[in-house]
Amino acid sequence: MRNLMWNEKFNIGVEVVDKAHARLFRMIGKLMDLAGYEMDSQNACKENIRFLEDYTMTHFSEEEAYMRSIRFKGYHKHKKLHDEFRDNTLVSLKKYLKSSDYSPMAVEHFLNVMVGWLTGHIMVEDQAIMGNVTAKSMYEETTDTLVVADAVNQAMKDVFRLEAELVSGEYNGRSIRNGYYYRLCYDRDNGEKVQLLMGLEEQLARRGVGMMLGLAAMQKPEMVRDASAQILEQFIHHFGKLFKSDAEYQLSKEELLTKDEFREDFMTRYPISLLFETRLGHFIFCVRRWEVKKRKGE
């Protein structure tokens, strides 16, 4: 995919880190081109994926060394994200690759997730190393619609460089144009469960991914779907950090939903149901939380 290239707006201002990010994007772009040749490219894809994995781990080590050198306060949480990607996301992707014998579809999914995760991570976590995005907790935990909407807008500006205007603080489930729908479930170490239901208009997802990854990415529905899911996960992680809390969040489940599944889940009621508009399109943001009752004797 020759039009997948490094965008200088991803730069964090640290040469060794920025050069590594640019190289990772070039490597993924070349692999996307290779994957288009199916059988003839299978062995080459295997070798290049192994090289991409090795280089990603090397980059993580270099980036962590830099954070330690400047005594970055968020080092341990940042390193935990690297570890979770290596030990969970990457392991799951590699299992799928092997079980499919590196089929073109599996290779494409692997690369889409990689580029989505890297993009979201760079735009949120890596930018925070140099103070380029909001890193401090600004809000008290609340169910107040205006406070949550303000936090969503702040996260949208940090991650997508977009203003998000609240259109409705009581979204009623009315249809938006064709879109992508996601459900993310989180466990908190204080025993609470948090579930988010989100919908993005197709044009918002396509244009957003296109702005970040180049115009060619807009024309690939699978890339838009997979990359959007990874970027949204980073968005939610950043959104959560804007609130003052000692409790940690751990993603327990993420699902891509059909429009009918989205509507069915929405009807189970979400106390916070918001509809936003950006210059690229609308998106829906719904939240509910509950405490897990402990069994007797626990």
* CATH code for the domain of 206: 3.40.1550.10
| Residues 144 and 241 both lie in one domain | yes
Distances (CA, A) of 89 to 82, 84, 85, 193, 250: 10, 7, 5, 21, 14
* Complete DSSP assignment for 97-117: HHHTTS-HHHHHHHHHHHHHH
Question: Are 54 and 152 within one domain?
Answer: no
Q: Which of 74, 103, 129 is the last residue of a domain?
A: 129
- pLDDT band for 72, please (50, 70, 90 cuts): very high
Tell me, what CATH number does 80's domain have?
A: 1.20.120.50
Cα–Cα distance measured from residue 70 to residue 120, given in angstroms and rounded to the nearest whole number: 23
Q: Output 253-260 pairs: Cβ under 8 A, ≥24 positions apart.
A: 253/183, 253/184, 253/185, 254/182, 254/183, 254/184, 254/185, 254/229, 255/182, 255/183, 255/184, 256/180, 256/181, 256/182, 256/225, 256/229, 257/181, 257/182, 257/183, 258/181, 259/175, 259/179, 259/181
Question: What is the average pLDDT value for the chain, to the nearest integer?
Answer: 85
Read off the pLDDT band of 38 (50, 70, 90). Answer: low
Residue 88 and residue 151 share a domain: no
Look at residues 129, 152, 185 and tell me which one is the last residue of a structural domain: 129
Over residues 145-161, the pLDDT tens digits come to 999 999 999 888 888 88
Lowest pLDDT segment from 95-104, 187-196, 203-212: 203-212
* For residues 120-136, average pLDDT: 83
Dist. CA 261–CA 259, nearest whole Å: 5
| Same domain as 257, residue 228 | yes
Question: Which of 214, 270, 276, 233 has its CA nearest to residue 113?
Answer: 233
Q: Same structural domain for residues 149 and 81? A: no
**Domain-located, residue 262:** yes
Angle at CA of residue 8, ends 73 and 238, nearest 5°: 40
Q: Which of 161, 202, 167, 200 is nearest to 183 (CA)?
A: 200
Residues facing residue 10 across a β-bridge: none
Please report whether residue 1 resides in a domain.
Answer: no
Residue 121 has pLDDT above 80, yes or no: yes
For residues 47 and 170, state if they share a domain: no
Contact between 284 and 198 (Cβ < 8 Å): yes
| Res. 1: pLDDT tops 60 | no
Domain count, the chain: 2
Answer with the one of 129, 162, 177 that is the final residue of a domain: 129
Q: pTM score, two decimals? A: 0.79
The answer to whether residue 298 sits within a structural domain is no
| Residue found under tokens 């999914």 | 109
113 and 180 co-located in one domain: no
115 and 234 inside one domain: no
Q: Identify the domain containing residue 57 by its residue range.
A: 8-129
What six digits make up the tokens of 126? 């890596």
**Confidence (pLDDT) at 217:** 59
Residue 284 has pLDDT above 60, yes or no: yes
Rounded Cα distance between 5 and 217, Å, is: 10
At residue 43, the pLDDT reads 76
CA dihedral angle for residue 122, residue 127, residue 133, residue 134, rounded to 10 degrees:
90
Indicate if 163 and 236 belong to the same structural domain: yes
Together in a domain, 87 and 49: yes
